[in-house]
């Protein structure tokens, strides 16, 4: 398959900030752009969110936010206290 060059313009500050975020995520900006295009096609729309979590500086609060995010991702964020306790009791058996 032939390759095609895709170009667009953005201001230097925006490009530098985007490149810095990509670097912290372990990729470069061109790789990110290829990922976006590939996933856009696969999902037939905007498919994902890649972002760095903002830290509060308080480890306990950061841990609770992470736990909430994980619960939401796994569809268990709306469990009642009774359901949580039942899950814990079952796991301890």
How much is the pLDDT for 84? Answer: 86
Answer yes or no: is pLDDT of 87 > 90. no
Coil/strand/helix, residue 25 = helix
Confidence of residue 71 (pLDDT cuts 50, 70, 90): confident
How confident is the model over 33-49, as pLDDT tens digits?
999 999 899 989 888 77
Confidence of residue 75 (pLDDT cuts 50, 70, 90): confident
Residues 77 and 68: beta-carbon distance below 8 Å = yes
The whole model's pTM is what? 0.51
Q: How far is CA 57 from CA 24, 46, 54, 61, 91, in A?
A: 19, 32, 9, 8, 32
């Amino acid at each position: 398959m032939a390759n095609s060059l895709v170009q667009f313009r953005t201001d230097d500050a925006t490009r530098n900030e985007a490149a810095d975020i990509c670097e912290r995520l372990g990729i470069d900006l061109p790789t990110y752009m290829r990922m976006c295009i590939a996933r856009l096609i696969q999902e037939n729309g905007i498919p994902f969110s890649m972002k760095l979590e903002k830290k509060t500086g308080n480890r306990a609060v950061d841990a609770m936010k992470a736990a909430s995010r994980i619960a939401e991702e796994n569809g268990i964020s709306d469990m009642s206290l009774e359901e949580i306790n039942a899950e814990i009791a079952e796991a301890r058996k």
